[in-house]
Structure 1
Amino acid sequence: MNTTHAAAALLKLASARTFLFVPADRPERHARALASGAGGVIVDLEDAVAPDRKVEARAQLRASFSALSVAQRQRLLVRINACGTPWHDGDLAELGELATQGLIAGVMLPKAERAADLQRLGVTIGPKGLLVPLIESAAGLEAARELAAAPQVLRLAFGNLDFQADLGLACDAEEAELVPVRLALVLASRLAGLAAPIDGVTPDWRDTARLANDAARARRGGFGGKLCIHPDQVAPVHAALGPSTAELAWARRVVEATHAAGGGVVSLDGRMVDAPVVRLAERLLALESQAPP
């Protein structure tokens, strides 16, 4: 991937609100996933592919990705198998070739727990390849700040279901027990200067009420994106993670009032508007420009 394409991929994926998983062994779905409106597409070699199909699925990637346009590849990540699994080293070798040929933007590493693993992966895919560590364990949470600060890391992602399994949690749909975990990932991302992290999946793609609640919780909690497992989740998640009409109207009024006053503190609707409020308004207006591809 040349420098221009790498920069374009970084901008697209850093601001993406939706990341849609698609099985690696279903190449006929790869282009369809990219056409779903998702900001990023994650071709999955891990959970979505049975053990006896992983090698074959990996071998199919080059042909599938070669048929995509440059713009499509800039939104393409591959989730490889975790470190220590029988398929990890083979995935690394293939991903290195794909990245060298500019066929992918980057890699998601599941069960991310060590910065050294990310550094090895970064060397394999080259300096322009992007990395998304998936935090799915107590060890991953403990290392979150180190993972966020590793070279080439674009954003952190949260594997909420695997994290519950690792700790033996029995969360209900609200996942109240995970509030401090999510906050830790938001803090780690902010300290490392990364884009806001990507929240985990809503497992029942037909449960629209839960999806709405999950996406609203993600936005309240400082997440900028969410993992999706079905194309029907993409549009509602994208909308939920963006500003509302009322928020945009308020943000425009704040910016206009500040400009009219020549900067500094102004009063709007009886409330003081200072620099932090202006920054919030500007952030909301910036989110409005992040339309689906």
Structure 2
Amino acid sequence: MTIAARSILFVPGDRAERFEKARSSGADMVVIDLEDAVLPDRKAAARNTVHDALAGLTEPRFVVRVNSLDTAWHADDVRAFAGLPGVAGLMLPKAERASDFVAMHEAAAGKPLHALVETVSAILNLADLVTAPGLARLSFGTVDFQADAGIDGDGAEIDYVRTQIVLHSRNAGLAAPVDGVSTDLTDDAALARDTDHARRFGFAGKLCVHPRQVGIVNAAFLPSDADIDWATRVIAAIDGAFGAVAVDGKLIDKPVVDRARRLLETHAAFQVG
């Protein structure tokens, strides 16, 4: 089982002094952002800044969010970073169809590609989008999607869309998707609720825009103590068992065992306890 990153932290591409600080935040993945976080007149300079910072790395440490396909900066972004050993993957904003990734996939030579789903067209094209070459995971750009769709609210108002992203990801064999940002940086309780909401809908990660969000997001995607106790008892009950087995008065079948194993593998992967 591949354990997907829980916290995906963005850091502006023109702030090189923050790159390693972002890595020390505890985020499972750090995305250096050349798109929304960088003003148009600073795009080229930011690209050079990021390239200089990553060129000396010998192992993959950062994902780079390049500019969208319809911009003058996209092709140069991909050329600058696709071959660097320090780049762990590329993220494409405003991704809408599988064909958007063909050139990136060829340039990236096996690096994982990430799609930010941010438009109505992307949602309507999900069946095609998830077949993109090299695609590893979808992230839901909730803020941009709401603006494009004319929807006011990121809770129940877009839960149908969340379900579509989860189902299409699962059907295509992609990692469980990443939910969008919580923009209020002062309300930790709301962030925890938002993250738990995403988890219950089948997401396995959340986009973060500040290091202080990382710990809350990471914790929310971990199995609870009660989950681990239950999973441990399930696995113990089936060890060497023949015939029907029950835990807590409920029969155990393969889907239940699979869920128990996933919980224990996630717990172990993040070295909890």
TM-score w.r.t. the length of structure 2 is 0.95
Structure whose residues are more often helix by fraction: 1
Q: How does 1:215-226 map to 2 (within 5 A)?
A: 215-226=195-206
Match of 1:93 in 2: 79
CA–CA separation in structure 2 for the residues paired with 1:225 and 1:109: 17
How far apart, CA to CA, are the structure 2 residues paired with 1:191 and 1:218? Answer: 18
1:15 and 2:1 equivalent?
no
Aligned with 2:102 (options 104, 114, 119): 119
What are the within-5 Å matches in structure 2 for residues 1-293 of structure 1? 15-68=4-57, 70=59, 73=60, 75-95=61-81, 99-126=82-109, 128-171=110-153, 175-262=155-242, 264-291=243-270
Worse-matched range after superposition: 116-125 or 131-140: 116-125
Return the alpha-carbon distance in structure 2 between the equivalents of residues 31 and 122 of structure 1.
Answer: 27
Contact 2:58 2:86 in 1 (8 A): no
- Deviation sequence 1:29-52 (CA, Å, 0-9, x none): 111111111111100000111111
Residue 155 of structure 1 aligns to a residue in which SS? strand
SS in 1 for 2:135: coil
Describe the SS at the equivalent of 1:84: coil
CA distance in 2, matches of 1:179, 1:247: 25
Contact 1:39 1:292 in 2 (8 A): no
Letter in 1 for 2:145: F
The runs of 5 or more residues in structure 1 that have no matched partner are 1-10
**Offset of residue 103 of structure 1:** 2.3
Letter in 2 for 1:122: H
Provide the secondary structure at the position in 2 that maps to 1:243. coil
Secondary structure of the residue that 1:149 maps to in structure 2? coil
1:20 to partner: Cα distance: 0.4
| CA distance in structure 1 between the aligned counterparts of 2:152 and 2:92, rounded to whole angstroms | 25
Residues 1:137 and 1:146: Cα distance change in structure 2 (over 3 Å): same
Deviation at 1:130, TM superposition (A): 1.0
Q: Give deviations 1:39-88, integer Å, cap 9, x for gaps.
A: 11100000111111111000111221135462xx2x41111111112222
Residue by residue over 1:205-261, the C-alpha shift from the partner in whole angstroms, topping out at 9 and shown as x without a partner, is 221111011100011000011111111111111110110001000000011001142
CA contact (8 A) 2:65 2:91 kept: yes
| 1:145 shift after superposition | 2.2
Residue of structure 2 equivalent to 1:8: none
| Matched residue type, 1:147 | L
C-alpha separation in 1, matches of 2:254 and 2:194: 31
- The offset of 1:101, in angstroms, is 3.1
How high is the sequence identity, in percent, across the aligned residues? 46
Structure 1-normalised TM-score?
0.88
What is the number of equivalent residue pairs in this alignment? 272
The structural deviation recorded for 1:90 is 2.1
In structure 2, C-alpha distance between the alignment counterparts of 1:118 and 1:209, rounded to whole Å: 37
Cα separation, 2, equivalents of 1:150 and 1:62: 26
